[in-house]
Chain A
Amino acid sequence: MSFLEGSKFDEPDLLFDKTDTSARNKIPSRGLSSFGPYDKDRPTLRVVLLTPISMLNNMEKLVDALNNGSARFPGGIRRYFRTNLEIVEKITTNSEKIEDYQESAIQIIKTYDPKDVDIILCYIPFTGKFMTNTPYYLLKASFAAHGFPSQMVTRRVFSNFEWSLLNVAIALFAKTGGVPWVLADGFEEVDIIVGISMSNRITSRSRAGSRPRYIGCVNVFDRFGRWLFFEGTATIYNEDRGSRRDQLEELFTGCLTKYKSAQHRSPRNIVVHYFKRFGRFEIEALEKIMGDLLDEHSLACLSINSNHPFRVYNKSIPDGSFPRGSYVFFGNNRFLLSTTGASNIGGRRMGTPRLLDIQIRHMTDDFTSKINLAKGVFDFTKLNWGTSMPMVRDPITLKYSESLAYLTAVLTEEDWGSFIKAQVNPILSRRPWFI
């Protein structure tokens, strides 16, 4: 082999209306500004505000700017999302201490039913991700356990106010169950795309025994990249083959049952994305589970990994990067895909693109094109409802699953106190509360 071969995917269009197929744009902020969100059925979002008294004024200004807009967010949430934030109540704490937040969280949970509040918007002090006994995780745990989605803001939002508004607005809208955008052109041959993740325990306490144990989650998307629901294991498994098989069985049984209940039919063509190497063992386990639960099915399993040293360079591009959408064939059933290289939809990116190493570990005959499977990974980098950035490195199948698994591990492992049950309320299984 004296050279590698490759090609380039076109940037996909995103769709910003359920019925108008011309409401397309490749860039989320432009599409939202021109057409509003895909889902326009949410005229009001009912918000409970939770903030230290010292930040109340700032938080009120934030809500006002979200509703009415600013120079960089003209028209605000009313234009971009065809909705309005209505503050149901403002709850203040005396300080930023975790005990004060806990008291206020209990007050909210005892006062309100999740049916009466769409989201809780909280100001919290900024803390590092690796510290777990913090207001961020306490509030997430409290509200998730009782069925309330929540949106946290820190001082960083106020120090980058103009640039933060759209991101906060997208997250608010999505967490309440709204659909900001989807892919304009869905995948042929595919019913659902599933992202799997399993998370390590990261807390300082309650690690029982010498070996860490793993919690699994899956996120499920339809062929247009619309997030449908998540499924997580309530049970904690060990790191051995039998446990992993049991975990996969529990996850996929729940997943397929939920899909059938919502769509009134079973999925047939299923694509699974996993950030680790799909072993023969996992593939056989999945095939058996699908065979037991479904009459007919076809299955494709993709391992998607960015933890490797492989790079491609294009000296004809000014910064030398391998452009976004470009890929090379890298052995049989394997692609290296650039999702963050030079592109006309995004500004200058820092550094050299870290490529996605996509391996098609399993593919039944009903899937006719490996290239289409790789394109699916690429298109799914446009669906992150946690940001207005036009491109994100990882496909949303992995990004959401990683976020969900990590949060779930923290929320269910810390000893938050008797008023918080160690699990996410099932009400939230159809809302992306974790983005």
Chain B
Amino acid sequence: MFANFFRLSVDKSGDVFDIGPEINETIDRSKTIRYDGYYYSYESDYGELCDYTNSMILSFIRKTFIQKAKAKQYLSKGKYTLYKNEDEMHHDNEDIYQLFRGLKHRIIQLENDYYLCIDPACVLLSVASIEHLEYKGISPHHLEGFSVRHYTDEGHRISGYLLKTEKELDSLSSTIRFYRKPFDVDLPDVAKLPSDTLYPEPRPELLESFLQKIGSPSSIIRMIRRLSFLSSRTPSRDRLVETIRLSKKLDNELFPFEFGGFKISLNTEPIVVKM
């Protein structure tokens, strides 16, 4: 038996430096972690040499892993999902939604060892704005009653509930009630916004209903089921095979990686489970 944990080896150990409880602008935050109220780095110029714990190294490994992944053109959805453009599943409605083979990950510590957990995952993105959906032929009357995300000019992403969409002269606007806003964003709880700044939540049933209305029906759910091995008679076996393939891909692309004097490599054999 196996679990989807792949051992991370610390092939070389370096030093850790204590920056203190505060961090100034001259310090490159990408080379620091915050642990137990204090900042630490692997760069000697930033602080005083100090002792370190396994948990601190775990934090450095997690941060560096994401940095290396992004440098290799991995995109992220949320904190724990990665995917690449080259892994997109192509279809006829890519202006409405995008679907990718991706992976979920965690880096954990078990006793004194570190492990990378990898699990294949589908990534579904909703890429058509409310305005684009109306342009494709969906009546404004049908563009209400679901969650949306809004992008502000400053690049904030805020979620809310779409109350209604209206056409006024040549422009389309939507009324949205925000679920929660960042404190530094000056917007009322209910706002009328240009529909080209709003995107529906990536819910398969919702996107399928849009495709139905524009006359291009497509079973997104069936595609997701296939990518999730749900239509297989041996789903767990298939998922394990894909997991090992992903571990080798990550090993090839991202490992070994270094930060400061530390060097981390990946073992592509999954951990054994003994009953």
Chain A positions within 8 Å of B, measured between CB atoms, are 1-8, 128, 130-131, 204-205, 207, 209-212, 308-322, 326, 328, 330-331, 336, 350-353
Q: Least Cβ distance of A406 to chain B in Å? A: 16
What is the count of residue pairs linking A and B with beta-carbon distances less than 8 angstroms? 125
Q: Mark B235-275, 1 if CB is under 8 A from A, else 0.
A: 11111100100000000000000000000000000111111
User: Which residues of chain A are near B95, meaning CB under 8 Å?
Assistant: none
User: Which residues of chain B are near A312, meaning CB under 8 Å?
Assistant: 1-4, 273
- Which residues of B in the span 97-151 have a Cβ within 8 Å of any Cβ on A? 104-106, 110-113, 117-119, 121, 145-146
Cross-chain contact B230 with A4 (CB below 8 angstroms): no
Cross-chain contact A204 with B163 (CB below 8 angstroms): yes
User: Which residues of chain B are near A7, meaning CB under 8 Å?
Assistant: 275
Cross-chain contact A328 with B273 (CB below 8 angstroms): yes
Q: Least Cβ distance of B76 to chain A in Å? A: 14
Cross-chain contact B236 with A320 (CB below 8 angstroms): yes
Cross-chain contact B274 with A6 (CB below 8 angstroms): yes
- Which residue from B1, B146, B228 sits with its C-beta under 8 Å from A314? B1
Instruction: Say yes or no for B34: interface residue by CB 8 A criterion.
Output: no
Q: How many angstroms from the CA of A267 to the CA of B189 in the assembled complex?
A: 45
Instruction: Say yes or no for B91: interface residue by CB 8 A criterion.
Output: no
Cross-chain contact B145 with A131 (CB below 8 angstroms): yes
- Which residue from B113, B230, B237 sits with its C-beta under 8 Å from A351? B230
Q: Least Cβ distance of B110 to chain A in Å? A: 5
Q: How many angstroms from the CA of A5 to the CA of B110 in the assembled complex?
A: 12
Question: How many B residues, CB 8 Å from partner?
Answer: 46
Cross-chain contact B240 with A4 (CB below 8 angstroms): no
Instruction: Say yes or no for B40: interface residue by CB 8 A criterion.
Output: no
Most buried by B among A5, A8, A313, A321: A313
Q: Can you sample 14 A-B contacts with CB below 8 Å?
A: A5-B273, A6-B274, A128-B205, A205-B177, A207-B177, A207-B179, A210-B178, A313-B1, A316-B1, A320-B237, A321-B235, A322-B236, A336-B3, A350-B235
Cross-chain contact A204 with B145 (CB below 8 angstroms): yes
Q: How many angstroms from the CA of A354 to the CA of B148 in the assembled complex?
A: 28
- Which residue from B112, B234, B274 sits with its C-beta under 8 Å from A5? B274
Q: A309-B119, A328-B3 are in contact. Are A6 and B275 (CB under 8 A)?
A: yes
Q: How many angstroms from the CA of A311 to the CA of B247 in the assembled complex?
A: 14
Q: A2-B272, A131-B145 are in contact. Are A313 and B2 (CB under 8 A)?
A: yes
Which 9 A-B residue pairs are closest in the complex by CB-CB distance? Answer: A320-B236, A320-B237, A309-B119, A309-B104, A3-B272, A321-B236, A352-B236, A313-B240, A1-B111
Instruction: Say yes or no for B90: interface residue by CB 8 A criterion.
Output: no
User: Which residues of chain A are near B80, meaning CB under 8 Å?
Assistant: 309
- Which residue from A4, A211, A319 sits with its C-beta under 8 Å from B3? A4
Q: A1-B113, A212-B179, A309-B118 are in contact. Are A6 and B273 (CB under 8 A)?
A: yes
Most buried by B among A316, A322, A336: A322
Q: How many angstroms from the CA of A161 to the CA of B163 in the assembled complex?
A: 37
